[in-house]
Amino acid sequence: MTTESNADAPAELLDRARRDYKELTARGLKLDLTRGKPAPEQLDLSEGLLSLPGDRHHAPDGTDVRNYGGLRGLPELREIFSDVLQVPADRLLAAGNSSLELMHDCLVHAFLSVLPGAETRWADQERIAFLCPVPGYDRHFALTERFGIEMIPVPMDDSGPDMDVVERLVAEDPAVKGIWCVPKYSNPNGVVYGDETIARLARMTTAAPDFRIFWDNAYAAHHLTDEPVEIADLSAACAESGNPDRPFVFGSTSKITFAGAGVGFFGSSTANVDWLTANSSKRSIGPDKVNQLRHLLFLRDAEGLRIHMERQRSLLQPKFDTVQRILEAELGGTGLAEWTTPTGGYFVTLEVGEGCAKEVVRRAAEAGIVLTPAGATHPYGDDPRDATIRIAPSFPSLEELEKAMLGLTTCVRLVGYEKRHG
Ligand code: PLP
């Protein structure tokens, strides 16, 4: 975070912000910083997928990928993602095109069938609650809300959720069945979970026997610097602490290859993988193995994945640099905002003054710049400080991004100075 202050900004700063905003609205912009989608150039990097698997029909183990079956997915593809997701390939499933749907299915199955280690289904319990580190991913919160799961916000610091709070809540309340975690380059604040946080998550005592960590490692391979971050191995730590069934690990190639036609992964203990596979077998006779073979032939191996992600980075890094440059130039030293400088992932979090986020988003929309709704980073869309704004720089072109960021910072100045001097 960058923090600087200029508490005595003169009223002419407000005048200038008003003039700049007037000019901004006159420009008739139409820009979108809402969703963390890959840009077309990023999708082009995986164009080769479209002509694969060619006339090849068989996976290396002889499976005819055109046919039914193979519920666990192609072993060789699971092998490629085993290291990066920190789950041995024999306990990693390659599934459909989305990890979010795997998270959805895990919740549904936990309601309908007894989880390993549990005595009753979630549907038979009066109350189910999840811990939600904030700021977090709006679609996680939408899922838990949809199933009537109570969401309990937990503050985050630079190394993950506040573990004193987490340990207390899971120990005292048997209705707390899970926690949402994006452990690497978190959505939206780019936080990387520290070793001690991961160790505490693995060994903490939970009142619920079927407590699960929904470990959404969506950005496991999505580095933005020369120093790829490694996190501690949660699955191994849980096993060592006698809690092998605690983690549900998720990942996907949505932001590696095609966001709409990638491959989702689920990894866990043997008991959990068998539980999910047994439940999924009622829902599907097998995943799209043609797409899995296509991915296997395209990425080849872990080194192929690494090289591909370097190409992704070469397109993304300039955009993240642009965001930092403009935030620093326009807001540095004003005391109006703080922001994250992520070393990977897809987002930058901008913290504006308390009570300002909704107004900044509204003013930006009026000027033709669409931002993720303020509050989306918190359960029930309620950011109690009304201060967090999520910036997603990946999709717009560099030129559009620059315009959008200049517009956004104008709105931050306008709303901030209006509050200070209005
Ligand atoms: N998890 C996180 C943290 C994300 O940010 C996203 C997409 O933005 C997803 C999951 C979606 O993943 P998928 O496309 O595999 O469903």
For residue 35, the model assigns a pLDDT of: 80
Structural domains present in the chain: 11-32+306-421 (3.90.1150.10), 60-300 (3.40.640.10)
For residue 4, the model assigns a pLDDT of: 39
> Per-residue pLDDT averaged across 199-207, rounded?
98
Read off φ and ψ for residue 5, nearest 5 degrees: -135, 150
For residue 281, the model assigns a pLDDT of: 97
Query: What single DSSP character describes residue 64?
Result: B
For residue 170, pLDDT beyond 60: yes
For residue 347, the model assigns a pLDDT of: 97
188: Cβ below 6 Å to ligand 1?
A: no
For residue 1, pLDDT beyond 50: no
For residue 175, pLDDT beyond 50: yes
Task: List, for residues 87-114, the tens digit of each pLDDT value.
Answer: 999 999 999 999 999 999 999 999 999 9
189: Cβ below 6 Å to ligand 1?
A: no
Say how far apart CA 241 and CA 82 lie, in whole Å: 21
Give the residue from 222, 289, 207 showing the smallest Cα distance to 259: 222
Close Cβ partners of 230 (under 8 Å, ≥ 6 residues apart) = none
For residue 2, pLDDT beyond 50: no
Q: Which atom of ligand 1 is nearest to the CA of 347?
A: 5
Read off φ and ψ for residue 177, nearest 5 degrees: -105, -10
Task: List, for residues 293-318, the tens digit of each pLDDT value.
Answer: 999 999 999 999 999 999 999 999 99
Between the CA of 218 and the centroid of ligand 1 the distance, in Å, is 6
Ligand 1, atom 8, lies closest to the CA of 36
Residue 333 in tokens: 């030293």
Q: Which atom of ligand 1 is nearest to the CA of 101?
A: 16
Between the CA of 329 and the centroid of ligand 1 the distance, in Å, is 31
Query: What single DSSP character describes residue 58?
Result: B
> Per-residue pLDDT averaged across 192-198, rounded?
98
Residue 310's Cβ-count burial label (10 Å; 0-12, 13-18, 19+) is: exposed
ipTM of the complex in this document: 0.99
Cβ(348)–Cβ(320) below 8 Å = yes
Ligand 1, atom 6, lies closest to the CA of 218
For residue 9, pLDDT beyond 70: no
Average pLDDT, the chain: 96
For residue 8, the model assigns a pLDDT of: 47
Between the CA of 347 and the centroid of ligand 1 the distance, in Å, is 12
> Per-residue pLDDT averaged across 26-30, rounded?
94
How many other C-beta atoms are found inside a 10 Å radius of the C-beta of residue 368? 17
> Per-residue pLDDT averaged across 130-143, rounded?
98
For residue 3, the model assigns a pLDDT of: 38
Q: What stretch of H or E contains 154? A: strand 150-157
> Per-residue pLDDT averaged across 369-390, rounded?
97
Distances (CA, A) of 397 to 38, 105, 305, 350: 11, 35, 24, 20
For residue 89, the model assigns a pLDDT of: 98
For residue 130, the model assigns a pLDDT of: 98
At position 371, the amino acid (one-letter code) is: L
> Per-residue pLDDT averaged across 350-357, rounded?
98
